[in-house]
Chain A
Amino acid sequence: MSTGALYNDQGGAEAAVEAGQESTPTSSGSGAAFGLFSADFKKNEDLKEMLESSKESLKLEAMKRIVGLIAKGKNASELFPAVVKNVASKNIELKKLVYVYLVRYAEEQQDLALLSISTFQRALKDPNQFIRASALRVLSSIRVPIIVPIMMLAIKEAAADLSPYVRKTSAHAIQKLFSLDADQKEQLIEVIEKLLKDKSTLVAGSVVMAFEEVCPDRIDLIHKNYRKLCNLLVDVEEWGQVVIISMLTRYARTQFTSPWKEGAMFDENNEKAFYESDSEEKKGHTEEKPYIMDPDHRLLLRNTKPLLQSRNTAVVMSVAQLYWHLAPKHEVSIVTKSLVRLLRSHREVQYIVLQNIATMSIQRKGMFEPFMKSFYVRSTDATHIKTLKLEILTNLANEANISTILREFQTYVKSQDKAFAAATIQAIGRCATNISEVTDTCLNGLVLLLSNRDETVVAESVVVIKKLLQTQPTQHSEIIKHMAKLFDNITVPMARASILWLIGEYCERVPKIAPDVLRKMAKSFTAEEDIVKLQTVNLAAKLYLTNSKQTKLLTQYILNLGKYDQNYDIRDRTRFIRQLIVPSEKSGALNKYARRILLAPKPAPVLESSFKDRDRFQLGTLSHSLNSKATGYQELSDWPAVAPDQSVRNVEIIEAVKEWTPTVGKTKQPKSDDKFYSDDEDEKEEEGSDSSGSEDSSSSSSEGLFMYFTMQMFSSCLAAKYHFPRQPCLYQPSMVAVQVILSNSSDHSLEEIHIGDRSPASLSIHCFNTIERLEPEASVTVSMGIDFSDSTQAANFQLCTKEDQFSVSIQPAVGELLMPSSMTEQDFCKEQGKLQGMNETSATITMETANASSQAISKQVLSVANVGVVSSSQNNFSRFAGRTVSSGALVLVSLELKESSTALLTINTEKTVMASMLLRDIKQALTQA
């Protein structure tokens, strides 16, 4: 019914037609189910129609409703054929929704799903990296076994893609393929091996994840990448950090020797240092410690430490566990503060962190003792948080702080949360056994609690007192008497059983009371809980042995009752006890030892933390949290006695090592591009200050940008090409240098090539020397200088040979009439300020996306105009400066990037004609791919 209603309000016209049918089924359960089904059926017809319509908006609406169905967990699988048709839609949202649908249902409709594959295969070749990535993502998410080979191929290709984002996606796809078909393991490992070498921070986390899933045992793949991973770690996204850290923890435990044996190592130390001094690996980490840590081990510890300041609690926890499992004992405590900080986070985070602290605090009290007060319980905490805090406080208790802790516990005992109060009593019991100074105080306190009004509190007290008394029963008959008195008022089975046990065990100390208690129990035996019945039988047996005169009849009565009890345990026990204590001809030799069996002195129970054995699991894992081994849990190996070969981690290229060498202050750091923490701004500033550098770069970058124009082909087959080398003209500074390549493509040699008349007559040309002779197939390069007077008017002249002459016209592009000029950003802005108004020409242009980066812009601008790059401190500004060759007038080009690859192009110069021409040229260059 509810679904029907929901459809109605969204369905529009088509839905309204069916409204009558849909609203009918309301009455009986089965009827409603049927109605629902038919409504679904009808509804889907309607959705199908919408999907098949030509209107994009209708299709989108339909898909939205279908996704709504999926989200609610309803079945929409029969729409598959209609939906899959839209997989190639142009509309991005529609396409995305179709993907969602496809991934959800492809597994069920494998044949139909194959229809969509070709679309993805095409998209995998798309020039846009995001489209390639999303195609791979969906393709690999379709769980159809037939396409495994296609997926494999796509993954391999994507792993070699230029875009790190696509490579990241391929790392994700590896896991998907592996879960679909584990037989591909070997091939996938090859891809993983390749991707592990990747230097991009984007890929690192994902590929390590794939490694962990596919081949966690192939530790040999990590060796060569170990240092790189350590160094990249800070810049990897936070989720990747968690995965990498936990993998490196495992790795380190197999590759390095234990840093924990400091004391024991003293003797061996000299020896070891002796060996080590020969090895090349020793790099100054000897320091003052007797134990020599592998520098790689140190590298890991050092590079993970900053991550303790991460906002992501999972990262902090993973670093904490890394330190716990890998760091020398005295260094572990640096994680304390960060863990305590996490206690301010969400309830669920607290729960996990407290669990881990509980395990840690058993072994290392000192780590958390200064923060004891952070574990004080608030009345608003959830019960499981309270119990964990209590656990930790108990672990932290020692002679010095026990009084503070006990005072705190007194408050907790009074808590309204009775489960928590009971846990507190247990905790007090543990403190009492662990710290003998306070045993008596605790015991007295607990006895006081026996008069508490709340039953759970009393019961728990009884149980704890019982355990405490066992440790020193002699002086406490008073307490036992007191408890016997309370017996009538206590109804909690566990507590009653405990009291019975106590009386039985120490019945000789309370000879008068014990038989009386037994008498009462005989009366109420049938109504008791099983556990109490068992203890009653025990008490009866013990009394029979010590005081048979008073209790013989009572015992027999109880044994008879027990014989016919409903519970087989009790029947068993009764039979056993009867044979043991009541002498008869059938009973064997055991009878003699009955007393020694039943009244043997029993060892006192040790009150232990429930977190005692949790340290067998790696901290921070699911297994640790559950205290049982989870599927896929990787055991943390013990330290090897002898470190495996350290040189396996050596990489031929040492650049990785270079990166982590600590640098002082603001010195330039050689870092790769995709690192945020490298201060690229600094580098630019420095570049700007030494102008020679920027000049170099501009001239070198324009090197490859010669303009070649094939001029004319002469009848006599003299061909000439010219280009602008963009060098200052040697002959006269106001001239533009032009290089001409003359080649003789005829079959006879040409003689006396020279320049003849020129027009306009005023044109000043520096001619090349006459070429005496040019052999067939030979060519010669000559340079000449032409003063264009800052205009693009063509220079016309005659090119003469001995027999012939040809008129030649050289028309320069406006950009070639400029010389680069180097200036600082400040100067640029100053000059620009002077060239406002008339002298400013600007236009907003939409650039080709490929040109949107500042490098691409520089490249394009420099290809058009011979100008110099002005280093800029702002990322979205590109500035270029030049002077006209003849008159030396400044030409300033600036480009301000706006969003979505539009930019404001401004040119400031006195030469307004040149400005407009230049503007046109640059615009053309930037808008074309």
Chain B
Amino acid sequence: MIHSLFLINHSGDIFLEKHWKSVISRSVCDYFFEVKEKAVDPENVPPVLQTPHHYLISIYRGKLFFLSVVQTEVPPLFVIEFLHRVADTFQDYFGECSEGVIKDNLVTVYELLEEMLDNGFPLATESNVLKEMIRPPNILRSVVNTLTGGSNVGDTLPTGQLSNVPWRRAGVKYTNNEAYFDVVEEIDAILDKSGTTVFAEIQGVVEACVRLTGMPDLTLSFMNPRLLDDMSFHPCVRFKRWESERVLSFIPPDGNFTLMTYHVSSQNLVAIPVYVKQNINFFETGSCGRLDITIGPKQNMGKTVEGLMVTIHMPKVVLSANLTATQGNYTYDLTTKVLVWDIGKLNPQKLPNLRGSLSMQAGAPKPEENPSLNIDLKIQQLAISGLKVSRLDMYGEKYKPFKGVKYLTKAGKFQVRT
């Protein structure tokens, strides 16, 4: 299936290669570079490419290209999903997935890649199983290792791969047993010029951080599971229980994981927490423009809107911005033409406002389209859909775990057209 993997950095250097079958020369990447040159923006490189003898399937993550070489028919999503899993694993092991970190941990990376695929077919992709075989680096261990000549390869053989619950390692032990769940909802919305909602939906995810001793069996139930329209689960969730009783019953992996993602039925009206009054004008003469944006609270369920931020991709002709903000501060990046207004907390008594003039390249025609505004915001302790966890029960273990649920609403792809 997957023949080889090349890791390529932003400037087009191949800094790691791994082959699971016979070696393929790195010159195969030249086809990719050709397309990359043309695409200008790395985001625009098509993920699937055809070359005379190979097929190239790539993903772009953290300013890196993960380029895999495939020789025969294979579902492209299979490869893409796997590559993302590789990137996730790096993230999990090293805290970030960047060129520097991969170069620093080259041997661990190589060992990981070796375990994750056998002859191009995924072998061990569960983080818990991998961690049993190859320990993630930490400072203390690396010091100890250099002194004692120890290794970061686990000396016990991985039993997780054999068990019924491959995602959980055996013999987990904690002094403080705790299970935290974060219900995070994102509002995806497009608002038009007049502020009416063109499109809005809520996507939610239940992230879990479970540190429990032994083999706990958890049951998580919601007050209003009917809200959920479509969902996907971590493999640990017993689907039959969900179908029949609408509860999440599972033996959790150890550590952080995504328990489920869901979509709130589109029939429900989506509450939009803020309104935006905006006025962006470019004048035909004088090569300048005006900008005036005010943001106010709308349906925020009585909670404070925090972390408010407006990002605008200005047209190329806008040279500089001379604005005043009543709250927060703004920056305008001259090279990328991105205007960022970081507001912070929304004060309903004194609405934040940003106004001033934009100066444009002399002689250039006025831009056709006004740039759209991307809004970022956060509301703590609120799931905007109204979803609530009712209880968490644990079976199979004697101790009393510490339990907690946190709610958070964020703006997802929240766009205001102007």
Residues of A within 8 A of B (CB): 55-57, 60, 64, 67-68, 70-73, 91-94, 96-97, 99-100, 104, 107, 128, 130-131, 137, 140-141, 143, 163-165, 169, 172, 175-176, 179, 202, 206, 209, 234, 237-239, 242, 246, 306, 309-314, 316-318, 337-338, 340-341, 344, 346-349, 351-353, 373-374, 376, 378-380, 382-384, 408, 411, 414-416, 452-454, 620-623, 625-626, 628, 630-634, 665, 673-677, 681, 873-876, 897-900
Contact = CB atoms under 8 A, between A and B. Distances in A.
5 contacts: A57-B149, A137-B118, A239-B121, A313-B80, A875-B214
Nearest to A617: B73
Contacts of B19: 104
B149 A621 contact: no
Interface in B42-84: 43-44, 46-48, 50, 55, 58-61, 70-78, 80-82, 84
Given A239-B125, A311-B258, A318-B75, 20 more contacts: A55-B149, A70-B110, A71-B109, A73-B26, A206-B121, A246-B75, A311-B234, A313-B77, A317-B77, A349-B77, A352-B77, A374-B199, A378-B415, A414-B368, A622-B75, A631-B73, A632-B72, A677-B240, A681-B395, A897-B171
Given A311-B261, A411-B417, A876-B215, A628 B50 contact: yes
Nearest to A94: B151
A721 to B, nearest CB: 42
A309 B241 CA distance: 13
B34 interface: no
Nearest to A454: B368
A172 B21 CA distance: 12
A341 B77 contact: no
B365 A453 contact: yes
Contact of A349 (B80, B158, B395): B80
A175 B238 contact: no
A691 B110 CA distance: 54
Contacts of A897: 171
Interface string B80-115: 111010000000000000000000001101110010
Contact of B72 (A141, A344, A625, A631): A631
B231 interface: yes
A341 B229 CA distance: 11
B140 interface: no
B239 A309 contact: yes
A236 B245 CA distance: 24
- Of B17, B233, B368, most A-chain CB atoms within 10 Å: B368
Given A72-B15, A176-B119, A628-B50, A379 B372 contact: yes
A172 B1 CA distance: 11
A414 B171 CA distance: 60
A873 B395 contact: yes
Interface stretch (B161-169, B176-184, B290-298, B378-386): B161-169
Give the 6 A-B CB pairs with smallest separation, nearest first.
A899-B171, A57-B149, A632-B72, A93-B151, A93-B153, A414-B369
Contact of B76 (A72, A107, A625, A677): A625
A68 to B, nearest CB: 5
Contact of B119 (A164, A172, A452, A873): A172
A67 B367 CA distance: 54
Given A384-B46, A453-B368, A172 B232 contact: no
B190 A376 contact: yes
B77 A631 contact: no
A626 B417 contact: no
Given A310-B232, A622-B75, A622-B76, A676 B81 contact: no
A316 B232 contact: yes
B16 interface: yes
A186 to B, nearest CB: 21
B43 A416 contact: no
B215 A875 contact: yes
Contacts of A383: 44
Given A239-B121, A376-B198, A620 B110 contact: no
Interface residues of B, number: 106
Given A314-B78, A317-B75, A675-B164, A92 B151 contact: yes
Contacts of B198: 373, 376, 408
Contact of A311 (B47, B233, B415): B233
Interface in B222-268: 229-235, 238-240, 243-244, 258, 261, 263
B413 interface: yes
Interface of B: 1, 14-19, 21-23, 26, 41, 43-44, 46-48, 50, 55, 58-61, 70-78, 80-82, 84, 106-107, 109-111, 114, 118-119, 121-123, 125, 149, 151-158, 161-162, 164-166, 170-173, 190, 198-199, 201, 203, 214-215, 217, 229-235, 238-240, 243-244, 258, 261, 263, 313, 315-316, 365, 367-369, 371-372, 374, 395-398, 413, 415, 417
Contacts of A306: 239, 243
Given A91-B151, A380-B413, A351 B46 contact: yes
Contacts of B201: 373-374
Given A318-B75, A348-B80, A633-B73, A56 B368 contact: no
Contacts, number: 256
Nearest to A165: B162
Contacts of B154: 92
B151 A634 contact: no
A620 B244 CA distance: 31
A131 B72 CA distance: 31
Contact of A96 (B114, B316, B368): B114
B165 A676 contact: yes
A632 B232 contact: no
A618 to B, nearest CB: 9
A447 B214 CA distance: 71
B80 to A, nearest CB: 5
Nearest to B114: A100
A67 B106 CA distance: 8
Contact of B48 (A130, A140, A626, A632): A626
Nearest to A169: B118
A96 B111 contact: yes
A67 B15 contact: no
A317 B173 CA distance: 38
Contacts of A353: 77
B118 A172 contact: yes
A620 B75 contact: yes
Given A202-B162, A873-B395, A242 B71 contact: no
B22 A143 contact: yes
A306 to B, nearest CB: 5
A314 B199 CA distance: 27
B17 A71 contact: yes
- Of B14, B114, B233, B374, most A-chain CB atoms within 10 Å: B114
B369 A346 contact: no
B323 to A, nearest CB: 21
B103 to A, nearest CB: 9
Contacts of A94: 151
A340 B217 CA distance: 32
B77 A384 contact: no
Nearest to B373: A379
A681 B396 contact: yes
Nearest to B213: A876
Nearest to B372: A379
B74 A622 contact: yes
B177 to A, nearest CB: 14
Contact of B232 (A341, A681, A898): A341
A250 to B, nearest CB: 12
Nearest to A353: B77
B398 A874 contact: yes
A914 B240 CA distance: 49
Nearest to B231: A309
Given A239-B125, A352-B48, A73 B231 contact: no
Contacts of A176: 119
A900 B171 contact: yes
Contacts of B110: 67, 70-71, 100
Given A312-B81, A876-B214, A899-B173, A631 B75 contact: no
